[in-house]
Amino acid sequence: MDKPLKTKQNILIIGGGIIGLACAHYLIRDGHKVTILEREKIGGAASHGNCGLLCFSDLIPLCAPGTIVQELVKSIKGISPLYIKPRMDPALFIWLSRFALNCNKGRMDRAAAAKYAFLTYSARLFDRLRGQFSMDCDLEKKGLLMVYKNKKGFDAYGQTDKYLRPYGMGARKISREELLHMEPSLKEDIAGGWLNPADGSLRPDMLITSWKIHLRQKGVILKEHCPVTGFIHSGPRSTITGVRTDQGEFKADAFILAAGAWTPLTMKQLRLSIPVQPGKGYSITMERPHLIPSRPCSFSERKVVATPWKNGYRLGGTMEFSGYDNGFTKGRLSKIIAGAGEYLKHPMGHPVVEEWTGLRPMCSDDMPVIDRAPGRDNLIVATGHGMLGLTLAPGTGKIASDMIAGRTPDIDVAPFSMTRFI
């Protein structure tokens, strides 16, 4: 159990996505007074429209050896989920350069070990959350099914599985015949699949709603449409005493910056930088088709995900680097639907409930940041979770609360320090 705290503090969280809510959850359990400031709607950005995957087996970072060559080949063929909008953007150029430097086995191995500790820690905390509030969010642990169209890719995943097995994250290889019997919704021309039982899924918008209700009941103040426009200092510049917003000034003893993809813009106000770029994703939510997968599926060659829920169904994917342009490009969504249609007999349900796009906080080494901001003793930065924000939310919230309390976190957080960018 946690050691009792000597003092209770007034904590201000900048950012009301899944990470901000998780931080508030553990801070309020420590007895602090917590306020969340969200620039738009609580849980309305990437936390809302993602595919709801809990990818506890996702140890290998995006910047793995061979990634750049693979994506270049796919781009030439016109099938890459990656799109980089041509523009003069020095920050993006630096980010891409850092990403390329991280595409080697040594860094992949170190990242996998660090992510394993973090992911398994967050998985344990997810299990405990169910006993702490009503998680009415269609949470299921049926694993993630990776489906392949071609035999080459199907067999090649065996090397990835071999890499993951020492961590206890191995998948079950499923033949074409067995897979078609298991999932009749799939087309006949698939090559096979791999099922990782460590993974799960939930409906993120329902989790956000349940968590908001719980936090409000516990006394957390939630402020929407309240962007931070400046920081207030008193005495030494290392100490922040408050923030300025369109709704006035808010004072606090300590601060957590969990603004997702917008974190770098907020940090600029403190003359600080962080290699995080907004990575746009798309999804489409609809009523369940009459024939649907029984579990979440990743259609591997197209990098498209299909997630079934009790009362809905979502397709999602793509990674678009176009800055802070949150505009909706119909063609990107059409590619997702077409990609799913290569694997599923009935990829679409009707009616369509929502077409969505949002920005993920992508760090150049595909590792999150959870650390005190340089030169700001009472500001903790929690961002860069990429496509694992939902999965890593409980772990991030608990680590941030430990830092506020002066406790040593349960896992080694050095790999997630900001000093790695120096």
Q: Residues 340-366: pLDDT tens digits?
A: 999 999 999 999 999 999 999 999 999
For residue 305, pLDDT over 50 is answered with yes
Query: For residues 402 and 30, what is the distance between their CA atoms, to the nearest angstrom?
Result: 9
Average pLDDT over residues 130-138: 91
Q: How confident is the model at residue 6 (pLDDT cuts 50, 70, 90)?
A: very low
pLDDT at 265: 98
> CB under 8 Å to 112, separation ≥6 — which residues?
59, 60, 61, 163, 167
Q: How confident is the model at residue 2 (pLDDT cuts 50, 70, 90)?
A: very low
pLDDT digit string, tens, across residues 248-267: 999 999 999 999 999 999 99
The residue among 370, 399, 281, 406 whose CA lies nearest residue 22 is 399
Buried b (16+ CB within 10 A) or exposed e, 238-252: eebebbebeeeebeb
Q: How confident is the model at residue 284 (pLDDT cuts 50, 70, 90)?
A: very high
Give me the domain span that covers residue 14. 10-421
Please indicate, yes or no, if residue 324 is contained in any of the structural domains: yes
- The gap from C-alpha 263 to its chain's centroid, in whole angstroms, comes to 14
Query: For residues 143 and 297, what is the distance between their CA atoms, to the nearest angstrom?
Result: 9
Average pLDDT over residues 187-214: 98
pLDDT at 76: 65
Contact status, residue 373 vs residue 270, Cβ threshold 8 Å: yes
Please indicate, yes or no, if residue 5 is contained in any of the structural domains: no
Average pLDDT over residues 375-402: 98
pLDDT at 75: 72
Place of tokens 């998985």: 123
For residue 227, pLDDT over 60 is answered with yes
The three-state (H, E, C) secondary structure of 217-270, written as one string: HCCCEEECCCCEEEEEECCCCCCEEEEEECCEEEECCEEEECCHHHHHHHHHCC
Please indicate, yes or no, if residue 76 is contained in any of the structural domains: yes
Phi, psi for 313 (deg, rounded to 5): -160, 140
Task: Provide the domain count of the chain.
Answer: 1
Average pLDDT over residues 217-239: 92
Please indicate, yes or no, if residue 165 is contained in any of the structural domains: yes
214 sits in which H/E element = helix 204-217
Please indicate, yes or no, if residue 4 is contained in any of the structural domains: no
Q: How many CB atoms lie within 10 A of CB 235?
A: 7
Please indicate, yes or no, if residue 132 is contained in any of the structural domains: yes
CATH number at residue 55: 3.50.50.60
Of the listed ranges 1-15, 59-73, 188-202, 294-308, the least confidently predicted one is 1-15
Average pLDDT over residues 43-62: 97
pLDDT at 1: 40
Query: For residues 287 and 259, what is the distance between their CA atoms, to the nearest angstrom?
Result: 31
Please indicate, yes or no, if residue 2 is contained in any of the structural domains: no
